[in-house]
Amino acid sequence: MHHGKYRFIVGFLTVPLGLYALFVVWPFIQSIYYSFTDWSGLSPEFKMVGFDNYTRLVHDDIFWKSLWHSLLFALVLPPVTIGLALFLAFMINVGGRRRKGGPVISGVRGSSFYKIVYFFPQVLSIAIVALLFAFAYNPDSGAINSLLRGVGLGSVQPLWLGDPGLALWCVMAVLVWSTVGFFVVLFSAGMASIPADLYEAALLDGASRATTFFRITLPLLWDTVQSGWVYMGILALGAESFAVVQIMTTGPGGPDYSTTVMVLYVYQKAFRDGQAAYATTIGVALLVVTLLFAAVVMRLGRRERLEY
Amino acid sequence: METTETPAPIPSEPHVTVGKADAPVDGPPRGKREGTVLNVFSHGMLILWAFMVVMPLLWAVMTSFKDDRSIFDSPWSLPDKLHFENWARAWTDANMSDYFLNTVLVVGGSLIGTLVLGSMAAYVLARFDFPGNRFIYYLFIGGMSFPIMLALVPLFYVVNNMGLLNTIHGLILVYIAYSLPFTVFFLTAFFRSLPASVAEAAFVDGASHSRTFFQIMLPMAKPGLISVGIFNFLGQWNQYMLPTVLNTDPDKRVLTQGLVQLAASQGYKGDWSGLFAGLVMAMLPVLAAYIVFQRQVVQGLTAGALK
Render chain B in DSSP notation, one character per residue: ---SSPPPP-TTS--PPPP-TTS--SHHHHHHHHHHHHHHHHHHHHHHHHHHHHHHHHHHHHHTTS-HHHHHH-TTSPPSS--HHHHHHHHHTT-HHHHHHHHHHHHHHHHHHHHHHHHHHHHHHHH---TTHHHHHHHHHHTTTS-HHHHHHHHHHHHHHTT-TT-HHHHHHHHHHHHHHHHHHHHHHHHHHS-HHHHHHHHHTT--HHHHIIIIIHHHTHHHHHHHHHHHHHHHHT--HHHHHH---GGG--HHHHHHHHHHHHHHH--HHHHHHHHHHHHHHHHHHHHHTHHHHHHHHHHHHH-
A46 burial level (CB within 10 Å; 0-12, 13-18, 19+):
middle
Residues 6+ apart with CB under 8 A from A228: A78, A82, A85, A183, A186, A187, B305
Residue B15, pLDDT > 50, answer no
Under a CB-based contact definition with an 8 Å cutoff, are residues B170 and B164 in contact? yes
Return the closest-CA partner of residue A73 out of A169, A179, A181: A169
Banded model confidence at residue B18, pLDDT cuts 50, 70, 90 = very low
CB contact under 8 A, A11 and B139: no
Q: Is the pLDDT of residue B242 over 70?
A: yes
**What tens digit of pLDDT does each residue of A81-101 get?**
999 999 999 988 887 766 666
For residue A87, the one-letter residue type is F
Is some CB atom of chain A closer than 8 A to the CB atom of B279? yes
Of A33-47, B2-16, B118-132, B193-207, give the range with the top mean pLDDT. B118-132
Which residues in chain A are contacts of B2 at CB distance < 8 A?
Answer: 101
How much is the pLDDT for B266? 67
Inspect the interface and report whether the beta carbons of A186 and B305 lie closer than 8 Å.
Answer: yes
The per-residue pLDDT for A104 is 67
Nearest Cβ partner for A17 among B36, B121, B245: B121
Q: What pLDDT band is residue B299 in, cutting at 50, 70 and 90?
A: confident
Q: What is the reported pLDDT for B217?
A: 86
**Per-residue pLDDT averaged across B136-162, rounded?**
87
Q: Answer whether A264's CB lies under 8 Å from B245's CB.
A: no
Contacts of B203 (CB under 8 A, 6+ apart): B209, B212
pLDDT at B205: 82
- Predicted local distance difference test score (pLDDT) of residue A101: 63
d(Cα A70, Cα A190) in Å, to the nearest integer?
A: 30
- Chain B residues with CB under 8 Å of A233 CB are none
Residue A100: what pLDDT?
63
Query: How far is the alpha carbon of B96 from chain A, nearest alpha carbon, in Å?
Result: 14
Q: List, for residues A207-259, the tens digit of each pLDDT value.
A: 888 888 888 888 888 888 888 888 888 888 887 888 889 888 876 667 778 88
Calpha distance B280→B63 (Å, rounded): 9
**pLDDT average, residue stretch A274-300:** 90
Closest by CA to A232, choosing from A75, A17, A96, A20, is: A75
- Looking at mean pLDDT, say which of A46-50, B96-100, B105-109 comes out highest: B105-109
Does A154 have pLDDT greater than 80? Answer: no
Closest-CA distance, B153 to chain A, in angstroms, reads: 7
pLDDT score for B268: 56
Q: Which whole number is the average pLDDT over B148-158?
A: 87
**Which one-letter DSSP state was computed for residue A154?**
T
Average pLDDT of the residues in B7-22: 40
The mean pLDDT of A194-202, rounded to a whole number, is 84
> What is the rounded average pLDDT for all residues in chain A?
86
pLDDT at B5: 42
Residue B307, pLDDT score: 44
Which amino acid is located at B297 in the chain?
V
The more confident residue out of B213 and B16 is B213
Q: Residue B172: which pLDDT band, with cuts at 50, 70 and 90?
A: very high
pLDDT digits (tens, 9 = 90+) for B256-270: 998 888 887 766 566
d(CA B256, CA A131): 10
Banded model confidence at residue B305, pLDDT cuts 50, 70, 90: low
Which pLDDT score is estimated for B16? 38
B264 to chain A, any CB pair closer than 8 A? The answer is no
The pLDDT confidence band at residue B164, using thresholds 50, 70 and 90, is: very high
| ipTM (interface predicted TM) | 0.85
Tens digits of per-residue pLDDT, B50-96? 999 998 899 888 888 888 777 777 777 777 777 788 888 888 887 88
* Span B284-305, average pLDDT: 78
The answer on pLDDT for B120 being more than 90 is yes
pLDDT tens digit string along A109-147?
A: 888 888 889 999 988 988 899 989 988 888 877 788 878
Shortest Cα distance, chain B CAs vs residue A123, angstroms: 6
| Residue range B32-41, pLDDT digits in tens | 445 677 778 8
pLDDT, residue B28, reads: 43
